[in-house]
């Protein structure tokens, strides 16, 4: 049986479109909040720093995969963080290959805590606008959707 073209929803009516729009507006919001709160990192630097904190001694390539960034952009962000003494990189070996490991410094940990203390109230205010059970349910659904999509992509970072 042929599918009626009128039954196929437009992309702009799909959950995928809504998630893309949500990601865009979240980035815009983060940039605004970082400016208002006088945070001297850009949101991508903050996310990178937080990811390093949560995943100690990552190699640069694995960090790029976690951030879903290409290695060049990851390298540029790491250069900026290293110039600010928030991270340090060191050479190590993995499977008989040289790799660059990334670690957060004490200064980086302090900076991350300062930023978290500044932004927590705003994000709590936003999340409190939605009942907690719904918020957690949506979070779990987004995780499942991301994991499902990840099965269908080839991540060549």
Determine, yes or no, domain membership for 19. no
Per the structure, how many domains does the chain have?
Answer: 1
- Those residues of the chain that have pLDDT short of 50 are 1
Assess if residue 50 is contained within a domain: yes
Kindly state whether residue 5 falls inside one of the protein's structural domains.
no
Tell whether 72 is covered by a domain: yes
Start-to-end CA span in the chain (Å): 41
- Does residue 89 sit within a domain? yes
Residue 18: predicted pLDDT: 93
Q: What is the CATH number of the domain that holds 64?
A: 1.10.10.10
Domain assignment present for residue 59? The answer is yes
Which structural domain range is residue 75 located in? 38-121
Is 44 domain-assigned? yes
Helix (H, G, I), strand (E, B) or coil at 34: helix
Question: pLDDT digit string (tens) for 37-52?
Answer: 999 999 999 999 999 9
SS (H, E, C) 114-153: HHHHHHHHHHHHHHCCCCHHHHHHHHHHHHHHHHHHHCCC
For residues 123 and 118, give the distance between their C-alpha atoms in angstroms, rounded to a whole number. Answer: 10
Q: What is the CA radius of gyration of the chain?
A: 19
- The string of pLDDT tens digits covering residues 127-157 is 889 999 999 999 999 999 989 988 888 766 5
pLDDT > 70 in the chain, percent:
93
């Amino acid at each position: 049986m042929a599918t009626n073209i009128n039954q196929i929803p437009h992309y702009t009516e799909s959950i995928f479109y809504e998630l893309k729009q949500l990601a865009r507006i979240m980035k815009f919001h983060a940039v605004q909040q970082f400016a208002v709160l006088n945070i001297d990192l850009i949101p991508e630097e903050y996310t990178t720093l937080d990811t390093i904190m949560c995943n100690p001694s990552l190699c640069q390539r694995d960090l790029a995969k976690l951030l879903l960034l290409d290695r060049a952009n990851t390298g540029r962000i790491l250069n900026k963080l290293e110039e600010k003494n928030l991270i340090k990189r060191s050479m190590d070996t993995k499977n008989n290959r040289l790799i660059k490991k990334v670690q957060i410094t004490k200064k980086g940990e302090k900076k991350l805590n300062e930023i978290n203390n500044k932004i927590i109230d705003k994000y709590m205010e936003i999340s409190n606008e939605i009942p907690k059970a719904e918020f957690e349910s949506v979070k779990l659904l987004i995780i499942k959707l991301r994991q499902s999509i990840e099965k269908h992509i080839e991540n060549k970072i």
